[in-house]
Amino acid sequence: MTANPTDTPLRTQEEIAARVKALESVLIEKGVVTTKAVDRLVEVYENEVGPQLGAKVVAKAWTDPEFKARLLADASAACRELGIGGLQGEEMVVVENTDTVQHVIVCTLCSCYPWPVLPPNWYKAPPFRARIVREPRKVLAEDFGYPLPDSVEIRVWDSSSELRYWVLPQRPAGSEHLSEEQLAELVTRDSMIGVGAPKPVVTEAAGA
Amino acid sequence: MNGVFDLGGTDGLGPVENDHMSEAVFRAEWEKRVFPMFAQSARAGLFNVDQFRHGIEKMDPAEYLLSNYYEHWMHTIEHYAEVAGILDPADLEKRTQYYLENPDAPLPERETDTEIVEFVDWAVSNGFPANRESDKEARFSVGDEVVIGNESPYGHTRRARYIRGHRGVITAAHGTFLYPDTAGNGLGDCPEHLYTIKFTAAELWGPEAADPNGVNYFDVWEPYLTPVPATQGA
């Protein structure tokens, strides 16, 4: 038994594609959808909106304490300052990791997430949604290779309302000299969900 | 409703598939066609977001677990298009067969409806806030100890099974938001106060199974809550 749909598909990819096309043809005929709007939305979520925006916000919070305070107080308002927000980001809440607290985000009832910082597919899959609320330390260690000392308190946030939680990870050690743009490159999607750390700083002079 | 979609705390589902493929926003061309149907179908009045979720919840449980995220979306859009009387399941099957045999056959001619494009651009940047004005007074405040009511309502609810009957503390009060238990069942927005509740992992899972210093947060609407009974004292 597996909950991974790619192992035991009920329909082949060809069958799903045909059914989607059939549904789209009906919705086009009924005036519900148009191709231009479909193409526009795909363009937005493939190219304009995504984890790079969350990374930008995190990098700014790492370098600007006043912005960070505003972000933790009202994430949606702070993100709007940077032109980030909109659909499924109307009520964002950012929670901050520390040396002693690790936050993790999930949506056990469906798969809610702040779309402006889009989730990876595993986030929406049953194993993550089922297990992270009950055995977060084990999931982080075994499934994500991210073991945490027992002294770190793990706080799991279930996105059960329209509030959209995400994590402000800790700034990597040795990153003091990096620019905001360079810092943003260290921020991973996993780190904003809380199942991993940002990428470590690679020092060019390593070994010197 | 009680169903397999309510996954929090379910055991035996195996490891989290955490591979490089997960980085793609859309993993197949067909996913790109399903995703944009959501906003446009909502605009056409087929469903609100809670009804959309409830359509997914009503899927066959085996199919729910064995199909992927955007197949869930396809299912609920089909469901509500049928409810609205604009989709005939037999016709959908016929068209599916046609496109299966003729995968390159074009879609019907589409009208260029600039209004829909303008709508999606507007929706993407503005979204649809779920907070709603109400003159209802809040019955609870931050710091209050509460118990989640044990009811198992039929229809849509956000009262997950793993929190029912458990005791927690209110850590934030957010004002009034549309109430999924009515909105998701076609009964209107009916705003209710929304709170964030903090539970200890031991409260939810028992001291044996829980992380010793684990904490779970869950947002609930006021009707889910009851005060902690005053049982202290003689």
Cα A40 to Cα A52: distance, rounded to the nearest angstrom: 19
Per-residue confidence at A91, pLDDT binned at 50, 70, 90?
A: very high
Of A32, A110, A143, the CB nearest to B41: A32
Per-residue confidence at A1, pLDDT binned at 50, 70, 90?
A: very low
Contact B36 A27 (CB under 8 A): no
CA–CA distance from A23 to each of A49, B64, B96, B138, B166 (Å)? 26, 19, 8, 44, 43
Question: What digits encode the pLDDT tens for the residues B148-199?
Answer: 999 999 999 999 999 999 999 999 999 999 999 999 999 999 999 999 999 9
What element of type H or E holds B147? strand B145-148
Question: What digits encode the pLDDT tens for the residues B99-129?
Answer: 999 999 999 877 667 788 888 888 888 899 9
Nearest to A58 by CA among A164, A163, A167, A159: A167
- The burial of A83, by beta-carbon neighbours within 10 Å (0-12 exposed, 13-18 middle, 19 or more buried), is given as exposed
Q: Which residues pair with A156 in a beta bridge?
A: A104, B216
Sheet holding B145-148, edge to edge: A101-106, A153-158, B215-221, B192-200, B167-177, B145-148, B225-227
For residues B167 and B146, the answer to whether their CB atoms sit within 8 Å is: yes
CB < 8 Å to A18, chain B: 96-100, 103
Contact A134 B220 (CB under 8 A): no
Mean per-residue pLDDT over chain A, rounded = 92
- pTM listed for this prediction: 0.94
Contact B8 A158 (CB under 8 A): yes
Res B169: pLDDT = 97
Cα B211 to Cα B205: distance, rounded to the nearest angstrom: 9
Mean per-residue pLDDT over chain B, rounded = 93
CA–CA distance from B205 to each of A161, B5, B159, B201, B211 (Å)? 22, 19, 17, 6, 9
For residues B5 and B13, the answer to whether their CB atoms sit within 8 Å is: no
Catalytic residue status for A79: no
Q: What percent of chain A has pLDDT over 90?
A: 80
- Say if the ipTM goes beyond 0.90: yes
Contact B158 A160 (CB under 8 A): yes
Question: What digits encode the pLDDT tens for the residues A158-202?
Answer: 999 999 999 999 999 999 999 999 999 999 999 999 999 999 998
**Closest chain A residue to B40, measured at CA:** A33
Per-residue confidence at A10, pLDDT binned at 50, 70, 90?
A: confident
**Closest chain A residue to B177, measured at CA:** A162
Nearest to B124 by CA among A77, A90, A52, A86: A86
**Chain A interface, mutation test: which of B80, B99, B203, most A Cβ atoms within 10 Å?**
B99
Tokens of B101: 């045999």
Question: What digits encode the pLDDT tens for the residues A143-166?
Answer: 999 999 999 999 999 999 999 999
Mean pLDDT of B202-210: 94
pLDDT tops 60 at residue B78: yes
- Say yes or no: A77 contacts chain B, CB-CB below 8 A: no
pLDDT tops 80 at residue B21: no
Res A208: pLDDT = 42
